[in-house]
Chain A
């Protein structure tokens, strides 16, 4: 099996689907001729033609708006928002239109679209190249929100998203586009080729939306993470030597609550980790669900390690980013309690 980076895996997913289904089209800013600022659509225009993969004006609302219209026509658009930080002009189209079209028309129309957006920090991206807005999507009925942590999942989940008949917000943590990042920014970058989950099958396969995966089995504490934080959590666990069970949620809505409950019921402790700001972040929903469903099994309060409730700073990147030290300390606190 070839070893791919996240970028190559995302591109391969679109390549596979564009070859299989001529209704699949890809577009966004710099997506066509140039192949995307992160190279995720490199070569697709040359292979499938400009009417299948093309550049758009700089208008996020326009990009998602035409995707909704194309979806209603019967196409399978894969729209790219260059950075998740710039999705706000498209928020009306995503929330008021894509998410509700099936419901409000009682199934007459639907929006089988994917909106891809690079997200997350750890790259000195500061306020407008680092955000993790997933909670702004998970709060919206009618949307599916997906976030992969490795090339294998990225390809399988994106193919599943393109085939899904519901609108899917597909968040791509740009910090792990080229290699897994465990938060140790002072260490050399490790490429994906050294990681077993870069082994990506050729051709078509899917990773089902709505299924979490236990990355590491453990008995002492359950760690709920997604995206870059899966790798950070693993590094933190290793450094503090706690037998934590690490769950990569992969799909936030729909959420694989069974896997979470099974794990927390077993360990009696729960740590939630995300880059996004804390207040009303997705961690709050996870915490509430664990509290509701595992109350009598919990030996300690649920703990959240998240970004601070501030805009994402530039110079203070590593004080903001919830790195392995903070996660490790939280793990130890949980075990002491």
Chain B
């Protein structure tokens, strides 16, 4: 018997649109992927898990069945949200470099996904975000000073200096408390949506995860529970190609798309150009409508690229080539929406430059205000006595004693 020697396959570190596209998933042309009815069965749209829903073509025109009917005002508002998110990220990164805080994480290149998805949700719905969906807050004009105070861990930090920067919590904004433990929120979102269904209250949950964290057990748990109980949840997978230094191929992206994960659970899946604001908006609206009308969960893989370092503690040049990013074929979400609006006659270069300057100024003013309440290294912080609060609803005796031991 002629047997080949065994050998372990270790995936090459390449993104799915890198030098070689080994996932078998190709760039679909804009407008080519059909838009099914929201009550479609998962098995009827299996191919959507391997295609790519895109609306904006190479010339910035909106084409095809997902092009929808966004008004120019809605799109300008989306553009503003994305620009503001990017300006916020830039300013906070600078403040980390100035040692005003310990840590920061940008979402550069991924702004369309959070900002565009948010437009599909209503007050009362709940996002279960990761640390890279700050656009969910900024797109609803949540006060950036409040976000900054959290990053700076100052006296106005509503998290009272307990959490790592960017781990926001904003219940009023439908933004669930961020945890450092990856994937845990994915199954919690399913539980939250189950509760909504049990109460018959029509609120939907949006779960968020990166492609790297889909390898965690809770990703599987979430899909099983979503499959069994069919609660109103949108299962978002942001495939930005990189989990710190690890390419999506090592997360299991080589043999199948992340959208295709849903098929085995009987959950309808979409695979969407995450840098196409119009496609994001349309796909999110489709999934939310499905959920709201009790047709159950949808998984959406957003294909995008993590343009920035993983965090301020990361140096991507150590593990990925500049050419990889340059070769990224889906471009920049802000530039693409800008070009579309200009093509529609609803925007212009000078207005864009002016808006960007206004937002930079707005963020700078906010940053100044936030710093006036203190920074991690200087100024006032929440009292150490507050460290013992909220461990339990009422402080038990042993914590009271420990607080006294600390001198409070």
Query: What 4 A-B pairs come out closest when comparing CB atoms?
Result: A69-B191, A66-B191, A65-B187, A62-B221
Please, how many residues of chain A have a CB less than 8 angstroms from a CB on the other chain? 45
Partner of B393, one of A25, A51, A102: A102
Of the listed stretches B35-43, B157-165, B303-311, name the one at the interface; the rest are far from the partner chain: B157-165
The distance from the CB of A42 to the nearest CB of chain B, in whole angstroms, is: 21
**In contact, A254 and B396 (Cβ under 8 angstroms):** yes
**In contact, A105 and B191 (Cβ under 8 angstroms):** no
**In contact, A69 and B187 (Cβ under 8 angstroms):** yes
**In contact, A69 and B177 (Cβ under 8 angstroms):** no
> Which chain B residues lie closer than 8 Å to A75 at the CB level?
195, 198-199
> Which chain B residues lie closer than 8 Å to A142 at the CB level?
391-392
Q: Which of A19-46 contact B (CB under 8 A)?
A: 25
Q: How far is the CA of A93 from the CA of B225 in the complex (A)?
A: 15
> Which chain B residues lie closer than 8 Å to A72 at the CB level?
126, 176, 188, 191-192
The distance from the CB of A90 to the nearest CB of chain B, in whole angstroms, is: 10
Q: Which of A54-100 contact B (CB under 8 A)?
A: 56-57, 59, 61-62, 65-70, 72-75, 77, 89, 92-93, 96-97, 100
Q: Chain B at the A interface: mostly helix, strand, loop or mixed?
A: helix
**In contact, A106 and B160 (Cβ under 8 angstroms):** yes
Q: Select the residue from A75, A105, A107, A109 with max chain B CB neighbours within 10 A.
A: A105
**In contact, B177 and A108 (Cβ under 8 angstroms):** yes
The distance from the CB of A103 to the nearest CB of chain B, in whole angstroms, is: 5
12 contacts between A and B (CB under 8 A): A59-B224, A62-B218, A66-B191, A66-B194, A68-B188, A70-B194, A92-B218, A102-B393, A106-B160, A108-B170, A142-B391, A254-B392
Q: How far is the CA of A102 from the CA of B162 in the complex (A)?
A: 11
**In contact, B195 and A70 (Cβ under 8 angstroms):** yes
**In contact, B191 and A68 (Cβ under 8 angstroms):** yes
Let me know if B222 is at the binding interface, CB within 8 A.
yes
**In contact, B184 and A93 (Cβ under 8 angstroms):** yes
Q: How far is the CA of A97 from the CA of B396 in the complex (A)?
A: 20
Q: A57-B225, A72-B192, A102-B390 are in contact. Are A65 and B184 (CB under 8 A)?
A: yes
**In contact, A103 and B194 (Cβ under 8 angstroms):** no
Identify the B interface with A (CB < 8 A): 126, 128, 158-160, 162-163, 167, 169-171, 176-177, 179-181, 184, 186-199, 205, 217-218, 220-222, 224-225, 228, 389-393, 396-398
> Which chain B residues lie closer than 8 Å to A59 at the CB level?
220-221, 224-225
**In contact, B190 and A65 (Cβ under 8 angstroms):** yes
> Which chain B residues lie closer than 8 Å to A69 at the CB level?
128, 187-195, 205
Encoded as 1 (CB less than 8 Å from any B CB) or 0, chain A from 290 to 301 comes to: 000000000000
> Which chain A residues lie closer than 8 Å to B396 at the CB level?
210, 253-254
**In contact, A57 and B188 (Cβ under 8 angstroms):** no
Q: How far is the CA of A77 from the CA of B389 in the complex (A)?
A: 24
**In contact, A255 and B398 (Cβ under 8 angstroms):** yes
Let me know if A104 is at the binding interface, CB within 8 A.
yes
Q: How far is the CA of A107 from the CA of B181 in the complex (A)?
A: 19
Let me know if A14 is at the binding interface, CB within 8 A.
no
> Which chain B residues lie closer than 8 Å to A104 at the CB level?
159, 162-163, 167, 169, 177, 179
The distance from the CB of B206 to the nearest CB of chain A, in whole angstroms, is: 12
Residue of A nearest to B233 (CB): A69
Residue of B nearest to A142 (CB): B391
Q: Select the residue from B128, B180, B392, B397 with max chain A CB neighbours within 10 A.
A: B392
Residue of B nearest to A209 (CB): B396
Q: How far is the CA of A69 from the CA of B220 in the complex (A)?
A: 16
Let me know if A110 is at the binding interface, CB within 8 A.
yes
Residue of B nearest to A79 (CB): B191
**In contact, B162 and A103 (Cβ under 8 angstroms):** yes
The distance from the CB of A143 to the nearest CB of chain B, in whole angstroms, is: 9
Partner of B198, one of A51, A62, A141, A257: A51
Q: How far is the CA of A105 from the CA of B176 in the complex (A)?
A: 9
The distance from the CB of A127 to the nearest CB of chain B, in whole angstroms, is: 22
**In contact, A166 and B392 (Cβ under 8 angstroms):** yes
Residue of B nearest to A258 (CB): B397
Q: How far is the CA of A5 from the CA of B391 in the complex (A)?
A: 34
**In contact, A141 and B191 (Cβ under 8 angstroms):** no
> Which chain B residues lie closer than 8 Å to A103 at the CB level?
162, 390-391
* Supplied contacts A69-B193, A70-B192, A103-B162, 18 more A-B pairs, CB within 8 Å: A25-B198, A51-B198, A57-B224, A61-B217, A61-B218, A66-B194, A67-B191, A69-B189, A73-B195, A93-B187, A102-B392, A103-B390, A106-B390, A108-B170, A108-B177, A110-B393, A142-B391, A254-B398
Q: How far is the CA of A97 from the CA of B221 in the complex (A)?
A: 15
Q: Which of A103-120 contact B (CB under 8 A)?
A: 103-110
Let me know if A155 is at the binding interface, CB within 8 A.
no
The distance from the CB of B196 to the nearest CB of chain A, in whole angstroms, is: 7
Encoded as 1 (CB less than 8 Å from any B CB) or 0, chain A from 252 to 295 comes to: 01110100000000000000000000000000000000000000
**In contact, B195 and A74 (Cβ under 8 angstroms):** yes
Q: How far is the CA of A109 from the CA of B159 in the complex (A)?
A: 11
**In contact, A108 and B169 (Cβ under 8 angstroms):** yes
Q: How far is the CA of A73 from the CA of B125 in the complex (A)?
A: 10
> Which chain B residues lie closer than 8 Å to A52 at the CB level?
198
The distance from the CB of A285 to the nearest CB of chain B, in whole angstroms, is: 10
> Which chain B residues lie closer than 8 Å to A212 at the CB level?
none
Q: Select the residue from A101, A103, A253 with max chain B CB neighbours within 10 A.
A: A103
> Which chain B residues lie closer than 8 Å to A56 at the CB level?
225, 228
Partner of A61, one of B180, B187, B192, B194: B187
Q: How far is the CA of A255 from the CA of B398 in the complex (A)?
A: 8
**In contact, B228 and A254 (Cβ under 8 angstroms):** no
Let me know if A243 is at the binding interface, CB within 8 A.
no
Let me know if A165 is at the binding interface, CB within 8 A.
yes
Let me know if A237 is at the binding interface, CB within 8 A.
no
> Which chain A residues lie closer than 8 Å to B393 at the CB level?
102, 110, 165-166
